[in-house]
Amino acid sequence: MSDDNRKKRNNNHQEEDGNKKDIIDKTNKKLNDFILDLKIISKIKPGNKLYVVENNIFIDDYYYLSGFFRFFTNQTRNDTINYIEKLNKDLEREINNILEKKTTSNNLLDDNPSNVLVNLSHDLTQGINGLKNLSLSYASDNFTLSKIEMIIYNFELKIRKISEVLKI
């Protein structure tokens, strides 16, 4: 085999390894973003609301002008609910990927899929507590309250699914 062929072959292997690493890095970033969102949701206290800015969620502690701020910046509860519903769908897809072992890595520093699922289950449980507190903020809005209840139900289904797979 000529030196040129060896170089091409090595470059192809390096590109494949680089592509696999990029996929794993993107998957880990997405997973970290999902976990961050769940951790933020878990910190919601009764009376708090959420708002979305540039595809990030924030907790809006109640203060005298908070409603005016949300109105002025065009932050609606529909934006928030849509964001959480998208998170719910993305989590479903990610959990299925982990269960199918599509996103596993041979890197010793990466968490194994079982540990990731256990941690996700814990974060989903904490997120449910935050969503229950959020539902108190919207107790007078039956439509929004019902959407939050559906998201809670879907989070509970994910927790059950993880528990069944891991036999927790």
Could you read off the pLDDT tens digit of each residue along the chain, which spans 168 residues?
556 655 555 555 555 555 544 544 555 668 899 999 999 999 999 989 898 988 899 898 765 666 666 666 667 889 999 999 999 999 999 999 888 874 455 554 456 888 899 999 999 999 999 999 999 999 999 999 999 999 999 999 999 999 998 886
Residue pair 92/77 in contact (Cβ under 8 Å)? The answer is no
pLDDT score of 46: 93
Question: Residue 45 has which token pair?
Answer: 């206290």
pLDDT score of 36: 96
pLDDT score of 20: 47
Question: Residue 110 has which token pair?
Answer: 């990466």
User: In whole angstroms, how large is the CA radius of gyration of the chain?
Assistant: 21
Residue pair 77/138 in contact (Cβ under 8 Å)? The answer is yes
pLDDT score of 124: 97
d(CA 56, CA 62): 19
Provide the b/e sequence for 92-126 (b: ≥16 CB within 10 Å).
eebbebbeeeebbbeeeeeeebeebbbebbebbee
What's the half-sphere exposure (Cβ side, CA atoms, 13 Å) at 85?
12
Question: Residue 32 has which token pair?
Answer: 């970290």
139 burial (CB, 10 Å; 0-12 / 13-18 / 19+) is exposed
pLDDT score of 109: 47
pLDDT score of 125: 97
Which residue bears the tokens 């529909």? 78
